[in-house]
Amino acid sequence: MSAAAQLVHFADRFAAIAKPAGLSLATPRRQPGAAAQRLILALPPEERALLSGRELHLVHRLDVSTSGLVLLALDEGMHRDLVASFTARRVVKLYLALVWGRPRPGTGCWEGKIGPDRKDWRRMRLDASGRSAATVWQVVDSAPHVSLVALWPATGRTHQLRVHLTAAGHPVVGDDLYGGPRHRAVRDRELRAALAAPRSLLHAWRLEVGGLVPGRFEAPLPDDFAAALAGAGLGLAPAERLWHAPGNFTGSKPLSQLPSPLA
């Protein structure tokens, strides 16, 4: 069972909610409002009461195992405006991931088209005939075996961050679908225990929405993520001032040119 959701911001026409890992936002065609209802039901009773009887329109989604910010529109007009902002890329999305290894250089942009994995319907993969996808990264902190990485998806493809990280050789800790063997040769028992996450340690940390007042939102780091960072000797402090993607990176080769475990 997933942890409780948290109301990060409540306004007259929208709400920002921190989704816990384990809560599905899948939306069946016959039940278009089901995901929004599940999200609301995961809130504490006093927060849920604020949204009782309101229209609920989910603006965007996160993977089941991903925690973090989700926007909910409370009328059709706001839903239309927010979806348009996402489509026009007027929204800054900042994720945090605990990954295996250390991406080099410390900042750059991965580009690699993504399409369905025909051998496993649960997965996506690099595919030259797929849809274009780009992810900017910056290493926030690193330790033996793992790094804390900030990620800005320039596009919004299914499983984009997980696919790009895995293709670059740095899968998310705890990601059993894309990450392969756990522990990655970690011999220290305490560190192995700290990194034995029951889910992928990927968190939708911050959102900035142009034209919205207020326009910046942050979802607190979940306890399991914070515990893994502490166990690895990593800290969030170096990321505190991050909002926008860095623009001074030297870049990297397209992922299609790198040896990929998804190929």
Looking at the annotation, which residues are catalytic? Answer: 63
- Torsion sign (Cα): 113, 118, 124, 125: negative
Kind plus residue range of the DSSP H or E element containing 47: helix 45-51
* Other Cβ atoms within 10 Å of 178 Cβ, number: 21
User: What is the amino acid identity at position 250?
Assistant: T
| Tokens 């290493």 sit on residue | 139
What is the Cα–Cα distance from 206 to 70, expressed in whole angstroms? 10
**Residue 131: DSSP 8-state:** B
Rg of the chain in Å (alpha carbons): 18
